[in-house]
Amino acid sequence: MDYVIGVDCGGTNTTAIAYNLDGTPIKTTVTGPANLMVDDSRALNNVRNALRKLLASVDGTCQAITVGLAGLRAYQFKERFRQQLNLPTENIQLINDAQLALIAKLHGQDGLVVIAGTGAIVIGTADQRQFSAGGWGHLLGDEGSGYHLSLLAVQQVTMEADDRQATAFGQALLAHLNLRSVFELIDHFYQWDKARVAKLAPFVLAQAEAGDPTAIGIVKKSAQGLATKIIQARRKGDWSDTDTVKIAVTGSVLEKNTYYRDILKQAVMAAGLPFTYLPITPTVSNAIAAVYDYQD
Amino acid sequence: MDYVIGVDCGGTNTTAIAYNLDGTPIKTTVTGPANLMVDDSRALNNVRNALRKLLASVDGTCQAITVGLAGLRAYQFKERFRQQLNLPTENIQLINDAQLALIAKLHGQDGLVVIAGTGAIVIGTADQRQFSAGGWGHLLGDEGSGYHLSLLAVQQVTMEADDRQATAFGQALLAHLNLRSVFELIDHFYQWDKARVAKLAPFVLAQAEAGDPTAIGIVKKSAQGLATKIIQARRKGDWSDTDTVKIAVTGSVLEKNTYYRDILKQAVMAAGLPFTYLPITPTVSNAIAAVYDYQD
């Protein structure tokens, strides 16, 4: 039996899945994290182990392997990495994790993928070209991400301290964190990593959904930033204003929150350009990209 | 002869100066950095060494010591630090470095001090009360600081990449750094510390002064943010709208750049409230605060 393998690497774990050529998953192997910018030899080990286990346990011939690796864009040693995988399969593609998501979510077709988790980026593909907007990281934007929503919420509390006007939202945020003052909040904030900061996002979204006007303002501002990135990515795709562009949304913030998705869709709609939203598929691994990639 | 000592501690070095009671400097000692949040035992050593050297080399009686320490606000062990200095002088005041600047620049009188270096904060004193606006650090604002000016400049380049509209300013920034693309810029940016980022500010200010419209927009936006903090601090001082409030500007970005000071003053003027600007005195150490402090 012929099969293909897709590997989705991330900061938490690496998921390698073998698929029939019709896209049915056969077997899955999970190993540890694989991010080239964090630790490339660990990434190599985890990807290699996942692939060797899978190749040893599936009968038949592996026709192709597609690996989506975080940090590949800026990585200098891509070819060496490929060689060091040292696998019996010739057809191995190393692509960026965002590209893997792009192929998986759009099934290899043209369109845009909006990813909003801790960070945010819009990636697109049109006529074999790939492009992106946003995704510049937490210091330079990441509009619409969990980090961005949380940052705006903490900035709100500092603004209220400077304005001497505490809002219900600012008070609720301090209470939620069991803190007494803006100074305590700041001291904590600067000790948190990005993922910890982003964990405030569900609180902000819940406050907005419950009708808090300050939280609604924050969510609309953040979503507006991401909507701008979507429109910019659409322009990079050179679609005409009458083309209906496919758009998939993914990442923890958007997948888990209908309310936030709706706010984002409204902000996008304001630009007056036609889009079709693909259904959310959080249970389908981006490793499925290997199947679309092979069919191409 | 009676004298007082002021100690100005910073991230680069610690300057301890002995003054006659009329404010004439007698002797200066410089040791290494002293920031409590970075390394408190190193800070203790450098402050103690500077003070012991000074006390041993000046004849007479030291009446008072005022030490301005970075990171004191959030520091838990202030009393232990004071004891471990273990000095023969009873009257030792430990205050924040920003408070030291406040006393030094306003000569102990009421008013506002605007500090803009790598970071930015507005501190004020009125009727024995001290207050501040801004100063929330590089992730949460620091409007008008060298870091903020630089951040807006790098964000401008990412925005241009998303908009597919390179400006002369964006091109000049890449050329200034000898980089070929926005991706190279981002990779560098995320490896820089705050001080390195802030080093772009003189370039941004020079481009603006030379008439580049994009750079002018960045400088005005950054200065507007700082002007807002000045107005907020003025409100915290509870002055009436007709009171003329004294204001001193300090920090490398403001002290070295007449052009930027003028832009800031214009932005403040738009609020229509009366201020008097004190002369810039970069050659007078904030250690002089010890003299005003003792005279009080």
The top-level CATH class assigned to B146-277 is alpha beta
**Residue B132: exposure state from Cβ atoms within 10 A (0-12, 13-18, ≥19):** buried
Phi, psi angles (nearest 5°) of residue A257: -135, 100
Q: How many CB pairs under 8 A join A and B?
A: 53
Confidence bin at B108 (pLDDT 50/70/90) = confident
CB half-sphere exposure, B65, CA atoms < 13 A: 26
Does the beta-carbon distance from A137 to B186 stay under 8 Å?
yes
A221: left (phi over 0), alpha (psi -120 to 50) or beta: alpha
A2-90 and A146-277 agree in CATH topology? yes
pLDDT score at B72: 86
Is domain A2-90 classified as CATH 1.10.20.10?
Answer: no
Confidence bin at B75 (pLDDT 50/70/90) = confident
Confidence bin at B42 (pLDDT 50/70/90) = very high
pLDDT score at B110: 95
The residue of chain B nearest to residue A235, with distances taken between CA atoms, is B163
Residues of chain B positioned with their CB less than 8 A from the CB of A140: 151, 154-155, 158, 186, 189
Is A200 in a helix, a strand, or coil? coil
For chain A, residues with pLDDT lower than 70 are none
pLDDT score at B57: 94
What is the DSSP annotation of A178-195?
Answer: T-SSHHHHHHHHTTS-HH
pLDDT score at B98: 86
* Segment B91-109 mean pLDDT: 91
pLDDT score at B141: 84
d(Cα A196, Cα A192) in Å, to the nearest integer? 6
Residues of chain A positioned with their CB less than 8 A from the CB of B158: 136, 140-141
The residue of chain A nearest to residue B233, with distances taken between CA atoms, is A162
Confidence bin at B13 (pLDDT 50/70/90) = confident
Give the H/E segment covering residue B275.
strand B275-277
**What's the mean per-residue pLDDT of chain A?**
93
Interface test with B, best of A36, A162, A163 (most B CBs within 10 A): A162
In 3D, which of B280, B234, B291, B255 has the Cα closest to residue B104?
Answer: B291
Confidence bin at B294 (pLDDT 50/70/90) = confident
Q: Is the pLDDT of residue B74 over 80?
A: no
pLDDT digits (tens, 9 = 90+) for B192-247: 999 899 999 999 999 999 999 999 999 999 999 999 999 999 999 999 999 999 99
pLDDT score at A233: 97
- What token pair was written down for A106? 């759009």
Phi, psi angles (nearest 5°) of residue B184: -60, -40
Full strand arrangement of the beta sheet holding A120-126: A129-134, A120-126, A111-116, A245-250, A275-277
Does the beta-carbon distance from A140 to B229 stay under 8 Å?
no
Domains in chain B: boundaries: 2-90, 146-277
Q: A168-176 and A201-209 are packed helices; what angle lies between their axes, rounded to 10 degrees?
A: 140
Residues of chain A positioned with their CB less than 8 A from the CB of B236: 164
DSSP state, residue B243? S
Q: Which of B73, B140, B186 sits opposite A154 (nearest CB)?
A: B140
Residues of chain B positioned with their CB less than 8 A from the CB of A74: 183, 187
Chain A residues in contact with chain B using a Cβ-Cβ cutoff of 8 Å = 73-74, 133-134, 136-137, 139-141, 151, 154-155, 158, 162-164, 183, 186-187, 189-190, 229, 232, 235-236
d(Cα B245, Cα B164) in Å, to the nearest integer? 46
